[in-house]
């Protein structure tokens, strides 16, 4: 059976007791470490888990586009299954798994739409082709013919030739708040490090080490 390999000369060093006091700073340190050293094309990829009105869980990979003390932002079609789930429950669970370094972060919190201004600003920063793609994808709906999608895509590019492509009203961002953050570091023989941070009613972080 394959064993997880700890990071050689791990500069992140979260094995100390007590745990670092600030999980937000810890996440930034981990993410910067992975981004600078990883061979992954998308180190900001994360699993997003939601639950629908029927009680069925669903997960998929999305990309983190912003992180700060207020939460994690990603963007999607507001008519997609994930968006419908979030509009029902307003709850989300995120998972970053950087297997190359034996690191994992879990985040849970409430999910709310970001402001139109925030969504507009990010949409304007996207490549023109991706902007057009956002207009034509009826995300999560059946697509009978791929050619229909391609034709619609070309028409959007032609329609807005020589001008800015506006953000579709059905497309924008969600922010997942930081109610809990869990950090995991692989160790030999599966004696892993695992810390859980939760917020109290005053917004202060409480940390505890968990059994792996």
Known catalytic residues?
190
Number of domains in the chain: 1
CA angle 3, 44, 6 (to 5 degrees): 20
In a domain, 145, yes or no: no
In a domain, 1, yes or no: no
Is residue 118 a contact partner of residue 181, using CB atoms and an 8 Å limit?
A: no
- Tell me the per-residue pLDDT of 190-201, one tens digit each, with 9 for 90 and over: 878 889 999 998
Q: Given pLDDT bands bounded at 50, 70 and 90, which one contains residue 188?
A: confident
Q: What range does the domain containing 91 cover?
A: 23-120+169-209
- Tell me the per-residue pLDDT of 23-71, one tens digit each, with 9 for 90 and over: 999 999 999 999 998 888 999 999 999 999 999 999 999 999 999 999 9
In a domain, 31, yes or no: yes
In a domain, 32, yes or no: yes
Question: Taking the mean position of all CA atoms in its chain, how far away is CA 184?
Answer: 17
Is residue 93 a contact partner of residue 49, using CB atoms and an 8 Å limit?
A: yes
pTM here is 0.90
**CATH code assigned at 193:** 2.30.110.10
Q: What is the DSSP letter of 71?
A: E
In a domain, 53, yes or no: yes
In a domain, 65, yes or no: yes
Is residue 113 a contact partner of residue 120, using CB atoms and an 8 Å limit?
A: no
Lookup result for tokens 């994808």? 137
In a domain, 8, yes or no: no
In a domain, 66, yes or no: yes
- Tell me the per-residue pLDDT of 92-112, one tens digit each, with 9 for 90 and over: 999 999 998 989 999 999 999
């Amino acid at each position: 059976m394959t064993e997880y390999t700890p990071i050689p000369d791990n500069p992140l060093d979260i094995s100390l007791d007590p745990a670092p006091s600030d999980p937000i700073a810890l996440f930034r340190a981990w993410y910067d470490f992975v981004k600078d050293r990883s061979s992954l094309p998308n180190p900001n990829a994360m699993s997003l888990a939601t639950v629908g009105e029927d009680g069925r869980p669903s997960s998929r990979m999305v990309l983190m586009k912003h992180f700060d003390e207020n939460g994690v932002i990603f963007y999607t079609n507001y008519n997609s299954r994930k968006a419908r789930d979030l509009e029902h429950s307003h709850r989300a669970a995120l998972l970053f798994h950087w297997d190359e370094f034996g690191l994992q972060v879990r985040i849970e919190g409430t999910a709310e739409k970001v402001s139109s201004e925030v969504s507009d600003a990010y949409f304007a920063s996207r490549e023109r082709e991706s902007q057009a793609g956002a207009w034509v994808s009826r995300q999560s709906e059946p697509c009978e013919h791929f050619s229909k999608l391609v034709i619609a895509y070309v028409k959007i590019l032609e329609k807005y030739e020589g001008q800015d492509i506006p953000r579709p009203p059905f497309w924008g961002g969600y922010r997942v708040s930081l109610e809990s953050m869990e950090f995991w570091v692989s160790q030999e023989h599966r004696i892993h490090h695992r810390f859980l941070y939760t917020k109290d009613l005053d917004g202060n972080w409480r940390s505890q080490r968990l059994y792996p």
